[in-house]
Amino acid sequence: MTLRGVFLALAAGVPAWAAPSDPTSLLGVTAGKNGTLSVPMQIVILLTLMTLLPAAVMSVTPFLRITVVLHFLRQALGTQSTPSNQVLLGLALFLTIIIMQPVAAEMYHQGWEPMEAGQLSVEQAMDRAAAPLHDFLLRFARERDIRLFIEVARAPAPHSPADLDLKILIPAYILSELKAGFQIGAVLYLPFLVIDLVVASVTLSVGMVQLPPVMISAPFKILLFVLVDGWNLVVGSLLRSFYR
C-alpha cells in the first residue's frame, strides 16, 4: 500500500465530528499536493520503519540461531561476561553476512536492478526480491511450525510450498531457529556438565565444602575448549548447518 493509500484509509476512519476544516490536514498532519503526505511526515514514517530493521535482521536471518548458540556456549563455559556481548554480537553479525550474501545478491539482481532500469514497478520489484528470501526461509522452517501458523491465521492450505505467505513463513522460521539453537546449546552443555559433576563429586569427597566447585571446574572447561579448538568447531558447525 502506498503512502497515499494509507492516508486515504486513515481519513476514511475519522469520524465526521473529528474531521478538520482543512481538507489537506488530518489530525494535524498536513498533506501535500494530490493528497500525498508531506515530506516531514514521510521522513517520520521512514524513520519509524527503520527502527524495525534490526528486529527484522535478527528474525529472518541466521543471526537468531547463532546468537542463541553463542550465548549457551558462554554459559556452559562459565566465563560470565567473557567474551563480551559486543564481541559475540559482532561475530554473529559477520557470520550472518557470510551466509546471507548470496541471498542478498539474488534479491538485488531480481528486484532492485530491474526496478532501477524502469522494467518493474515498486510492487513487482518487491515481489521479485521476496522470492529468494522466501526460498531461504522455507529451507529451515519446520513443517510442524508452518502448520501451526496456518491454523492460527485460519489461512487456506497452500497447494505447494511456493504458495506460502511470508506472514506465515517468517514466524514459523523463527520458531524453527529457536528450537535448533536450543538443541545445539543443549549438546554443547553436556561435556562441560560432566566436568562440573566430576569436580563437584571430588571436592565433596575430600571435604572441600566451602570451596565452590565452579572455581575449580572453570579452568578445566576452558582448557578442554582450547585443546579441541572449540571456536573453530562451533563456528564451522554453525556455518555448515546453513549450507546443507
pTM for the full model?
0.74
- The three-class DSSP label of residue 26 is strand
Q: Please report where in the chains the cell 536471518 appears, as a residue.
A: 61
Q: With pLDDT > 90 as the criterion, what percentage of the chain qualifies?
A: 13
The pLDDT tens digits of the residues spanning 189-233 come to: 888 888 888 888 887 777 766 767 777 778 888 888 889 888 999
**Grid cell digits, residue 84:** 563480551
Q: Please report where in the chains the cell 559486543 appears, as a residue.
A: 86
pLDDT band at 176 (very low <50, low <70, confident <90, very high): very high
Q: Please report where in the chains the cell 534479491 appears, as a residue.
A: 107
Q: Give the number of other CB atoms < 10 A from CB of residue 137.
A: 23
Q: What is the 8-class DSSP label of residue 163?
A: G
Buried b (16+ CB within 10 A) or exposed e, 36-69: ebeeebeeeeeeeeeeeeeeeebebbbbbbbbbb
